[in-house]
Amino acid sequence: MYRFLLSRQWVILTLGALALIPTMIQLGFWQFHRHEHRVAQNTLIADNLKAKPVPVEELTSPGHTVPRADYWRTVTATGTFDTAHEVVVRRRTSSDDQVGVHVLTPLVLRDGRVVLVNRGWVPAAADQHSYPPVPPAPRGEVTVTGRLKADETTGASGIKDLKGLPDRQVMLISSRQQAELMGREVLGGYLELTAPEPAGGTPETIAEPDHESIGPHMAYAVQWWLFAAGVPVGWVILVRREKRDREAGEASDVPGSPEREPVEA
């Protein structure tokens, strides 16, 4: 009765179904792990943003790689801005998705070491080879507050660190690169400035990272698992339909058998 399952067509169909099931299950777990990663990251961001501010020197030092556990920690730094070594970071977007630059200004600490401060976003110059108009940094000794971030890398950001850029323009924020240019000790990572707020609202300070939305990954995981469960159900339905059609065809071929109504699929 089920010998048709040994036909080439049904063998291929069955093997394809058997291959789809584990693939869909794996895709479901992939989306589930992405969901777990997003939830864990949201928790980390929220906890670090709520943590009590600490001096930046307690979390980083020259050559230090900021670990993920310290991302977005609120830190403070006291010193004097060195606008002579200020640079802009190209191809950065504002809160309303306009393309411009970030203003990266070194802050010379009291002990002579330097921490990089991302003061925020300004529009790019009309000419990509020109330095854009940048609002001046505060003069004299200041205490700034910001979120600690790790140095940017090509691998993590997907941005190529282009060579031959115009003077005082970079693609990535790198404390090592700026240490070489300045000839001074620069703390690893950098600060995203949150206070004091710039006069006139420019540069535009960088908004807090999103730590509330969890994305659609869990829904995608459930969908893949439902698809996996549906494959064997669909296979059984097709087998039963094929069996029924074959039985109807054999009955209509028997001499003297009453004419049957066509069987609808």
Cβ pair 167, 211 in contact under 8 A: no
pLDDT at 263: 43
Strand-pair partners of 101: 122
Residue 164 in this model has a pLDDT that exceeds 90: no
205-228 pLDDT, tens digit per residue, is 999 998 888 899 999 999 999 999
pLDDT at 121: 97
**CA separation, residue 37 to residues 43, 50, 265 (Å):** 10, 20, 46
- CA dist., res. 22 & res. 75, Å (int): 47
HSE, CB side, 13 Å, CA atoms: give it for residue 66: 27
pLDDT at 265: 39
Residue 264 in this model has a pLDDT that exceeds 60: no
Cβ pair 186, 106 in contact under 8 A: yes
Locate the domains of the chain by residue range: 3-39+216-253, 53-201
- CA dist., res. 90 & res. 172, Å (int): 8
- CA dist., res. 122 & res. 185, Å (int): 27
Count the helix, strand and coil residues of the chain and give each as a percent rounded to the nearest 5.
40, 20, 35
Residue 245 in this model has a pLDDT that exceeds 50: yes
Mean pLDDT over 146-175 rounds to 86
- CA dist., res. 197 & res. 99, Å (int): 21
Percent of the chain with pLDDT over 90: 76
18-43 pLDDT, tens digit per residue, is 999 999 999 999 999 999 999 999 99
pLDDT at 50: 94
pLDDT at 257: 52
pLDDT at 5: 85
What is the enclosing helix (H) or strand (E) of 224?
A: helix 217-253
Chain centroid, CA 216 distance in Å: 14
Cβ pair 82, 106 in contact under 8 A: yes
Residue 103 in this model has a pLDDT that exceeds 90: yes
- Reading the block at residue 46, the tokens are 């929220």
- CA dist., res. 68 & res. 150, Å (int): 8
